[in-house]
């Protein structure tokens, strides 16, 4: 069994109480590592270390902090294969995806914020002839960073990099389901000479480590990515302390295919948008809305492409669909397919049990599943499944497409497929989401604001928004006395 450790005050150590949590390999269905089952004592040590490190770290020049983050990026890149393998074992995702997306993008997150901070500007306002106002942006202190299991290193680095770049110190809590890459990151930080206490990583369960991060008054800033129900608990716990919050939560994203779209491209990309990482990306398009004039042809092509996705051992380079993150999650996904049947849905593809190699017979796999015949208001079309289950629905005109896309409590993202530029602009404006992709999906530019509307999110991360989120603006007004 591999042993995962906390990273507190520059040291890797077990939980004070000595308890451990089993960490599973989803492709196999058995435990392969043990992670610390931390509690408030470990969290307290992490917060004290972060508070102690804050004055010196925040007084460093942006260039010095940048160099530390660039060193971390280079060290992850040098160990890319090790990280990709660890991520694939930990999450069940195909290693090709971890190698091409998760780990390189984590490296990019560190590089992006390490260099962005060198280009920060502050505002100055001359008030007629009477005064000069200028805005100071100061780091806010100890940041609490809580992340989920689907893109563990990517989402953690997306928070750690901007928080540290502008001079905060941090206490990070990775998901207890996928702690391995955060453990490797701690090793990288220690070897790269990051000063003790600047980043602390406390492993453990949500209620025992995450909840006290949300309620501890010494942590004034919280960046959370995870489910909407957890986000609500965090907001409740943080409210009495008036903490600054960024909440990135669930989604029920629409892929809208208009009749004038490039058909082949729309099919290929909407299948990718539906099933990337087994549908376990918050931005996955799980409701595909298709113009009625091309509906039948589209469903056929979509089902054919889906059936051809290669499911198998995530460690096999050729695998396109891996395992789901946990047994509980597999049960949840199966429950939604059963519910779809009850709600009158038709399973177009995904009914057959997957053929798997011997090693993976006990793993948590679910075939990519395509459903039609479900109304827009049924639970399967309203609730976040976060797995390889997609529904396809027809629409008659643009207004109906927009109404259907907007008709959930979520508002994270959408992708639209059309060759009509006017339609693309008009529809994009009408969608209640934080990101609209036109003729693409998951094309990311780290400079743009990222986040959700409605129950998908509060606040924005990414680019300048993240650097601003982790700083506190202070206006200085100097009166001019002539």
Instruction: Name the site residues for ligand NAD (rule: CB under 6 A).
Output: 146-150, 155, 173, 175-176, 206-207, 210-211, 214, 225-227, 230, 233-234, 248-251, 282, 384, 386, 412, 452, 456-457
C-alpha–C-alpha distance, residues 283 and 280, integer Å: 8
Residue that is written with structure tokens 């639970």 in the block: 379
Shortest spacing between CB 431 and ligand NAD, in angstroms: 16
Q: Which of 25, 87, 269, 282 is catalytic?
A: 282
Shortest spacing between CB 379 and ligand NAD, in angstroms: 16
Question: Is 440 tagged catalytic?
Answer: no
Greatest distance between any 2 Cα atoms in the chain:
85
Contact by Cβ (8 Å): 211, 190: no
Shortest spacing between CB 209 and ligand NAD, in angstroms: 7
Q: What are phi and psi of 146, to 5 degrees?
A: -120, 130
Q: Report the residue number, 28 or 433, with the smaller CB distance to ligand NAD.
A: 433
Question: Is 248 tagged catalytic?
Answer: yes
Q: Report the residue number, 16 or 453, with the smaller CB distance to ligand NAD.
A: 453
DSSP-assigned letters across all residues of 149-197: SSSHHHHHHHHHHHHHHTT-EEEEE--TTS-HHHHHHHHHHHHTTPPTT
Shortest spacing between CB 244 and ligand NAD, in angstroms: 16
Burial of 251: CB neighbours in 10 Å, binned 0-12, 13-18, 19+: buried
**Cα separation values, 35 from 26, 176, 269, Å:** 16, 8, 37
Helix, strand, coil % over all residues of the chain, rounded to 5? 45, 25, 35
Residues β-bridged to residue 134: 124, 476
Shortest spacing between CB 222 and ligand NAD, in angstroms: 9
Q: Report the residue number, 29 or 148, with the smaller CB distance to ligand NAD.
A: 148
Shortest spacing between CB 253 and ligand NAD, in angstroms: 10
Shortest spacing between CB 213 and ligand NAD, in angstroms: 6
For the record, the structure tokens of 55 come out as 């004055």
Residues β-bridged to residue 454: 410
**Cα separation values, 365 from 27, 323, 341, 383, 430, Å:** 7, 5, 20, 21, 37
Q: Report the residue number, 312 or 452, with the smaller CB distance to ligand NAD.
A: 452
SS3 at position 271: helix
Residue 19 has a CB neighbour count (10 Å cut-off) of: 16
Burial of 134: CB neighbours in 10 Å, binned 0-12, 13-18, 19+: middle
Q: Which of 176, 248, 384, 461 is catalytic?
A: 248
For the record, the structure tokens of 350 come out as 């995904």
Shortest spacing between CB 236 and ligand NAD, in angstroms: 9
For the record, the structure tokens of 142 come out as 């100890």
Question: Please, what sign has the CA dihedral across residues 146, 150, 156, 159?
Answer: negative
Q: Report the residue number, 178 or 372, with the smaller CB distance to ligand NAD.
A: 178
Q: Report the residue number, 264 or 445, with the smaller CB distance to ligand NAD.
A: 445
Residues annotated catalytic, as ranges: 248, 282
């Amino acid at each position: 069994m591999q042993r995962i450790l906390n990273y507190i005050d520059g040291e890797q150590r077990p939980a004070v109480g000595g308890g451990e949590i089993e960490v599973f390999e989803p492709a196999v269905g058995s435990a392969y590592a043990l992670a610390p089952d931390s509690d408030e004592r470990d969290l307290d040590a992490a917060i004290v270390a972060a508070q102690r490190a804050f004055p010196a770290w925040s007084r460093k020049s942006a260039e010095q902090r940048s160099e530390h983050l660039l060193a971390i990026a280079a060290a992850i890149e040098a160990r890319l294969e090790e990280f990709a393998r660890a991520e694939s074992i930990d999450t069940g995702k195909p290693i090709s995806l971890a190698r091409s997306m998760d780990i390189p993008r984590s490296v990019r997150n560190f590089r992006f914020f390490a260099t962005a901070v060198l280009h920060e500007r502050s505002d100055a306002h001359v008030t007629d002839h009477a005064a000069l106002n200028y805005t100071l942006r100061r780091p806010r202190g100890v940041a609490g960073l809580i992340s989920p299991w689907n893109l563990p290193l990517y989402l953690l680095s997306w928070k750690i990099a901007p928080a540290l770049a502008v001079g905060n110190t941090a206490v990070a809590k990775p998901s207890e389901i996928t702690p391995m890459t955060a453990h490797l990151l701690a090793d990288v930080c220690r070897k790269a000479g990051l000063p003790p206490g600047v980043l602390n990583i406390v492993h453990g369960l949500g209620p025992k480590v995450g909840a006290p991060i949300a309620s501890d008054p010494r942590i004034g800033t919280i960046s959370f990515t995870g489910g909407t129900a957890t986000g609500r608990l965090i907001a409740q716990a943080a409210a009495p302390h008036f903490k600054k919050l960024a909440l990135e939560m669930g989604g029920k994203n629409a892929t809208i295919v208009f009749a004038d779209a490039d058909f082949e491209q729309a099919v290929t990309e909407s299948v990718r948008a539906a099933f990337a990482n087994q549908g376990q990306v918050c931005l996955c398009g799980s409701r595909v809305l298709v113009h009625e004039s091309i509906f039948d042809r589209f469903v056929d092509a979509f089902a054919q492409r889906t059936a051809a996705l290669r499911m198998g051992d995530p460690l096999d380079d050729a695998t396109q669909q891996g395992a789901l993150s946990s047994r509980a999650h597999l049960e949840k996904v199966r429950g939604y397919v059963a519910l779809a049947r009850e709600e009158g849905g038709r399973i177009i593809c995904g009914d057959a049990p997957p053929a798997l190699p011997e090693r993976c017979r006990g793993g948590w796999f679910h075939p990519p599943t395509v459903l039609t015949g479900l109304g827009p208001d049924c639970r399967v079309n309203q609730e976040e499944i976060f797995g390889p289950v997609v529904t396809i629905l027809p629409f008659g005109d643009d207004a109906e497409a927009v109404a259907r896309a907007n008709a959930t409590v979520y508002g994270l993202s959408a992708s639209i497929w059309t060759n009509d530029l006017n339609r693309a602009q008009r529809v994009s404006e009408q969608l209640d989401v934080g990101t609209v992709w036109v003729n693409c999906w998951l094309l990311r530019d780290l400079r743009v604001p990222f986040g959700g509307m409605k129950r998908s999110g509060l606040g924005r991360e990414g680019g300048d928004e993240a650097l601003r989120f982790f700083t506190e603006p202070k206006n200085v007004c100097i009166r001019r006395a002539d």
